[in-house]
């Protein structure tokens, strides 16, 4: 039997490559924003929700919530945007995870640059991590937005690639079903405070429960 020629092998390889490309999920999608939920979440015309990747904006009741919401509204409400996906496309709540682009501008980056969101990374979605960290450092240095709340706040030291060293990511802390990596935390006034545990009092005799006073101890009978 005659061996297949070079031309046949070429077209076969090209066909397999085309099938692989078609089978792979799209890295980008053009959508229409119907409503803006908050500084880092929007609702699409088809009912899906999109959570912005790589950032965390203030929640309702926290400082700069209104400013982040206002900027997100101005950039995305009622507009056609492009979603850029990373390695993981959805979170455990079924929301799309994406970098949101309006024209040539990434909304995620704009919020960080103006100090209205801080970098919040969840591996394996680290595509724009270094760029976002650089923008956050600039916002911190200028005291923009949330970084101007507490005097003397300086850029965080966490980096994905320390100068002259290998790629390193700070230790991950499990929380729920995700391994979350908050890099460059916001000022203390923007973080929820953990409840303090009551300090143990001085050692002394324990007071009897008034509800138990007057009750006779239960009889313990030895089985026959």
Question: Which stretch of DSSP H or E encloses residue 135?
Answer: helix 129-142
- Residue 79 falls in the annotated catalytic set: no
Residue 189 DSSP label: G
- 33: preceding bond cis by omega (within 30 degrees): no
> Taking a C-beta distance cutoff of 8 angstroms, is the pair 56, 40 a contact?
yes
Q: Is 87 a catalytic residue?
A: no
Active-site residue flag, 173: no
Residues 6+ apart with CB under 8 A from 217: none
CA–CA separation, 136 and 119 (whole Å): 7
Q: How far apart are CA 39 and CA 110, in angstroms?
A: 11
Annotated catalytic residue within 95, 138, 180, 185: 95
Q: Which of 59, 90, 105, 130 is catalytic?
A: 59
* Rounded alpha-carbon distances, angstroms, from residue 193 to 57, 145, 189, 190: 17, 20, 9, 9
Where do we find the tokens 């950039």? 75
Give the other-Cβ count within 10 Å of 201's Cβ: 6
- Count Cβ atoms below 10 Å from residue 156 Cβ, excluding itself: 16
Q: In what order do the strands lie in the sheet with 178-182?
A: 55-56, 118-121, 178-182, 173-175
Which are the catalytic amino acids?
Answer: 51, 59, 95
């Amino acid at each position: 039997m005659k061996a297949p020629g070079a031309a046949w092998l070429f077209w076969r390889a090209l066909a397999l490559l085309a099938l692989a490309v078609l089978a792979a999920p799209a890295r980008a999608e053009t959508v229409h924003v119907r409503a803006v939920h908050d500084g880092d979440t929007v609702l699409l015309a088809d009912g899906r929700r999109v959570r912005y990747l790589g950032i965390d904006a203030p929640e309702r009741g926290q400082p700069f919530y209104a400013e982040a919401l206002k900027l997100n509204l101005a950039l995305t409400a009622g507009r056609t945007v492009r979603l850029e996906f990373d390695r993981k496309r959805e979170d455990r709540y079924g929301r799309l995870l994406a970098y949101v682009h309006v024209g040539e501008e990434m909304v995620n980056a704009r919020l960080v640059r103006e100090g209205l969101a801080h970098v919040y990374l969840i591996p394996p979605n680290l595509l724009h991590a270094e760029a976002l960290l650089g923008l956050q450092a600039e916002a911190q240095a200028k005291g923009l937005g949330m970084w101007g709340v507490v005097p003397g706040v300086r850029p965080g030291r966490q980096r994905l690639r320390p100068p002259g060293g290998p790629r390193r990511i700070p230790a991950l802390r499990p929380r729920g079903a995700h391994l979350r990596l908050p890099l460059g935390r916001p000022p203390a006034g923007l973080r929820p405070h953990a409840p303090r545990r009551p300090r143990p009092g001085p050692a002394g005799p324990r007071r009897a429960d008034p509800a138990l006073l007057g009750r006779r101890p239960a009889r313990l009978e030895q089985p026959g």
